């Protein structure tokens, strides 16, 4: 069944840009690169990627997201998204109407985009994007309005606080710790615990 929000979901920036609209980029977890759509994990269950896009669109966003190919380089893809963001701003979209977000590997890409674009008004949401180990295996100095959300029981990904200390002067950061007990898997389906604060941050 086709989504009733299909007109708001795009694989790249729309050809026709309405400067009054809000735009949300979403970069999925690595599982989609490995297994395609649909994707499922033995540990966490189904990864409800399309339902997530519908959920974001239901809040009035033009959602820009694509299923990446296997082995996508984080820096190359982050640069691609950064150029799309710059294109929206050049077209007259206010930076405050643009949100870049991602989960796990997509969260890492989100931080790289934030580091590439030195703009205080762009919104970012990092969903379980900071590893508990090898925190500095990539150079990050984020900017803009960055929200981190992770679950306290995640055994691989946690706080972005150390990354935020490396941020630019125009960084405004916040972090939400969930206690669902689902760990990394909490972001496998669009539940209110993380979607609501994500949407609220993107609309400020």
Those residues whose C-beta lies under 8 Å from the C-beta of residue 16, and which sit 6 or more positions away, are: none
pLDDT tens-digit profile, the chain (204 residues): 567 899 999 999 999 999 999 999 999 999 999 999 999 999 999 999 999 999 999 999 999 999 999 999 999 999 999 999 999 999 999 999 999 999 999 999 999 999 999 999 999 999 999 998 755 556 789 999 999 999 999 999 999 998 999 888 999 999 999 999 999 999 999 999 999 999 999 998
Residue 1 falls inside a structural domain: no
CA distances from 68 to 12, 28, 76, 153, 178 (A): 12, 8, 12, 27, 27
d(CA 185, CA 114): 25
Residue 113 falls inside a structural domain: yes
d(CA 185, CA 47): 9
Residue 85 falls inside a structural domain: yes
Residue 22 falls inside a structural domain: yes
Q: Write the CATH number for 177.
A: 3.40.50.1820
- State pTM to two decimals: 0.96
Residue 48 falls inside a structural domain: yes
Structural domains counted in the chain: 1
Nearest by Cα to 31 from 80, 78, 68, 76: 68
Owning domain of residue 90: 6-202
């Amino acid at each position: 069944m086709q989504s009733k929000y299909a007109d708001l979901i795009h694989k790249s920036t729309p050809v026709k840009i309405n400067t009054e609209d809000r735009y949300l980029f979403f970069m999925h977890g690595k599982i989609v690169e490995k297994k395609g759509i649909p994707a499922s994990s033995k540990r966490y269950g189904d990864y409800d990627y399309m339902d997530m896009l519908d959920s974001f669109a239901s809040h009035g966003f033009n959602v820009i997201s694509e299923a990446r190919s296997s082995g996508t380089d984080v820096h190359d893809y982050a640069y691609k998204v950064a150029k799309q963001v710059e294109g929206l701003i050049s077209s007259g979209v206010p930076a405050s109407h643009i949100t870049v977000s991602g989960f796990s590997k997509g969260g890492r890409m989100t931080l790289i985009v934030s580091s590439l674009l030195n703009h205080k008004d762009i919104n970012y949401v990092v969903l379980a994007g900071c590893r508990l180990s090898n925190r500095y295996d990539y150079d990050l100095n984020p900017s803009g309005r960055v929200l981190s959300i992770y679950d306290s029981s995640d055994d691989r990904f946690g706080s972005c606080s150390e990354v935020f200390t490396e941020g630019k002067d125009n960084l405004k950061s916040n972090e939400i710790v969930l206690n669902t007990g689902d760990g990394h898997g909490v972001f496998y389906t669009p539940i209110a615990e993380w979607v609501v604060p994500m949407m609220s941050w993107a609309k400020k």
